[in-house]
Structure 1
Amino acid sequence: MRLIQQRADEAAATEAMRGGAIGAFKYCTVAVFVGGVLHAFSPRWRAIRPPQKGWLMVAAFLGGFGNGSDTTFTNFERRDREIQIRIAEQKRMEILYGAGGGKQGQA
């Protein structure tokens, strides 16, 4: 049982990291685009020094990573729960109607 649990934990962590990386990429892409537009049209944005703009990119990265990993992990848990319910329902049907699917009397 522990091996199955360990594999499930590793799969969930892998899925969350993948979703976090995708979310961070999306948020950073939008931040770079908005920063470029602001740099072209806003003198106040151009006056901000590059290190502060870098920290804004870090904030976008962290926000995207957190949002993406949480969303992906929640979806992973939901899929896992649906599989558990399906297996429990199948076992219940096997107990009620037999493992042969209604073909027990046939030889």
Structure 2
Amino acid sequence: MSGVNKGVQACINNKLGREIIFIPCSAHSFNLAVKYACDCGTEFISLFNLLQEIYNYFTASNKRHYVLRKELESSEFGLLVKSLANTRWVRVTWFYLTLIIKSSVVDRKF
């Protein structure tokens, strides 16, 4: 953390006795930008709330979670249901965004 008073950067500054250069993590900066952009749209909020509720439903019961996991493992994708984590959904969204952009480039060629 980069807190001014008690963050890691402040602790290192105090130990070294000088100020060090702060370089923010680009993945987390991008994650915050996407998070704030999505917070303004109620559709995004509703979608991610629904996804979290679905996850909560299946993980609340070991039996439901087991049955779902077996079904997903036997599917062609072999997916695993995971709780929403901001950096995880940003990474996946970025992955699919690049695929969409690539496919639109291919569409323009034809």
> What TM-score comes out, normalization by structure 2 length?
0.27
> What TM-score comes out, normalization by structure 1 length?
0.28
